Structure 1
Amino acid sequence: MSIPGAIGWTVGVTALFLFLLGLISSFRMEPALDGAGSFRAAPKLDVIGSFACQAAAYLLGLFGVLQVHAPRASIRQFLGVRGTHVAFYPLAIALGFALEGPIAALYTAIEGRWPSGIDDAELVRVFVDASAPERAALGLIFIVLGPALEEVFFRGALVRPLRWTHRAPLVIAITAALFAVAHVGWQKFLPIGIFGAALGVLRIASGSLLPSILLHGTYNAIQCFSLLSAAGAGAADGAPSAAGAALPDAAGSPVWLVAVSSASALVLTALACVLGRRAEGAARAREKDLS
């Protein structure tokens, strides 16, 4: 796969996702007051519907990549769903915790300087209004299904065909950049790009998709816990005030804590690279990526 090809697949998948999202949004409107005091139609946040659109777009993209680049390959082997050295799994969890602080602080700083207009309170309100089964479904999407879906496309469908023709550092950089751009909103590009680079390093070093899914899920689990905490606080104050709730302010974290988290993330990433070079299980898994 060429770099323009990877860009084309990502643009196509993202465009299809946004088209489907816009399609269902036109059928899901709720009344809201505008600045003049009159009612207008406003889109209602639908996490489950959004995930369904994303899943449809990404899975169609995966099918297309398979048909074009590896029509006879085993889907599991093509995506890299294979075992690797066992140390990569706890390392992925630790890296997920380490990355949360610096990435959240960076995004909050960018938002403070150049606001995107995205309000976390709406997502908190979704959790406040949700029943227990609905919260379980939202948690499943945020922590398991969403991370797995994105990793299957970016670190699965794109990484292996790119590795056939490009060196690992370039593949990591390209997939991280495409991962960032696919999330739309330029304020997110740098934080998500850094996160994507860490995911790519873990994927390439381990030779397996599983550690990157675990890292992604761990990071999202921390975000989900923050949402549940904010939702719990909003519910305690009453549902009407929940819409004014907000996620914990990452910029308010002590500087030393962000610095320690950043250093830990760098050390863990370097450790993943060393482990990938020295562990036999990782070496065998990486050989399958190049075959």
Structure 2
Amino acid sequence: MSVPVAAGWVAGVSFLFLWLLGVTASFRPAPELDVVSSFACQAAAYLLGLFGVLQLHAPRASIREFLGLRRTHAAFYPLAVALGFALEGPIAALYEQIERRWPSGISDAELVRVFVEASAVERAALGLIFVALGPTLEEVFFRGALTRPMRRKHGAPLVIATTAVLFAVAHVAWQKFLPIAIFGVALGVLRVASGSLVPPILLHATYNAIQCFALLSVADAGHVNEVPAAAGAALPETTSMPAWLVAASSACAL
């Protein structure tokens, strides 16, 4: 798979995702942030993209083998968790500096409000999406479906850089591009070094778990308008955007 083809797959999946969100939003008289619905749209788009990549680039391959769902050296698992904790601070600080220099004019309080108003069961569902399902879905596509066919044609550095950039651009808000691209490089390096998709999923999940814990802490305190500074790079944009685009950023949040 060439770089332009990989970019085309990401563009196609992203447009399908946004279209599904637009259709979903059109059936709501007063659209609001709905993390579950937006994630369902993202999952549908990404899984269709995965199916398309498999059919065109590896029609006879085992899905597990193609995605890299295999065991690796045991040391990569604690390393992935440690990287999740180590990267959270610098990435959040970088995003905060970018947001301060070039303000997006967008509030992140809406997602906090969702957590504040959610029941215990709803919070568990949100946590499952942000910590487990979301990271797995994105890693399956970017470090799985795109990485394997690209490695047949390009060296590891180019593949890591390309998937990191595409991963960042898919997250809607340009203020997040550099922080997320850096995070994508870490995910790509771990994927190539371990030879498995499991460590990147674990790294991504660990990073998201920190953000989710910060959101829950604010929600438990009842401070709807106070957004954890550390969560800035991972929270969705809310105000001054169409509801379907808000949901897009929510589902694509780190």
Residue 21 of structure 1 and its aligned partner are, at CA, apart by 1.2
SS at match of 2:78: helix
Residue 244 of structure 1 and its aligned partner are, at CA, apart by 2.0
Unaligned runs of 5+ in 2: 233-254
Q: Which has the higher contact order (CA 8 A, sep 6+)?
A: 2
What is the rounded CA distance, in whole Å, between the counterparts of 1:249 and 1:79 in structure 2? 31
> Which amino acid in the other structure matches residue 244 of structure 1?
N
SS at match of 1:83: coil
> Which amino acid in the other structure matches residue 60 of structure 2?
R
Alignment of 1:45-60 (within 5 A): 45-60=33-48
| Residue matched to 2:228 | 247
What is the rounded CA distance, in whole Å, between the counterparts of 2:106 and 2:46 in structure 1? 24
| Residue matched to 1:97 | 85
Residue 22 of structure 1 and its aligned partner are, at CA, apart by 1.6
Alignment of 1:1-291 (within 5 A): 1-30=1-30, 43-234=31-222, 242-248=223-229
SS at match of 1:192: helix
RMSD: 1.3
Residue 27 of structure 1 and its aligned partner are, at CA, apart by 2.4
Residue 97 of structure 1 and its aligned partner are, at CA, apart by 0.2
TM-score normalised by L of structure 1: 0.78
SS at match of 1:183: coil
- Give the 4+ runs in structure 1 shifted more than 3 A: 248-251
Per-residue CA deviations over 1:148-193 (Å, capped at 9, x if unaligned) read 0000000000000000010000000000000000001111100000
> Which amino acid in the other structure matches residue 214 of structure 1?
L
Per-residue CA deviations over 1:246-279 (Å, capped at 9, x if unaligned) read 223579xxxxxxxxxxxxxxxxxxxxxxxxxxxx
What is the rounded CA distance, in whole Å, between the counterparts of 2:133 and 2:24 in structure 1? 20
Distance 1:130 1:200, change over 3 A: same
Distance 1:145 1:249, change over 3 A: closer
Unaligned runs of 5+ in 1: 31-42, 235-241, 252-291
How many pairs does the alignment contain? 232
Contact 1:82–1:209 under 8 Å retained in 2: yes
Contact 2:113–2:219 under 8 Å retained in 1: yes
TM-score normalised by L of structure 2: 0.89
Residue 26 of structure 1 and its aligned partner are, at CA, apart by 2.3
Aligned residues with identical type, % of pairs: 75
Contact 2:211–2:231 under 8 Å retained in 1: no
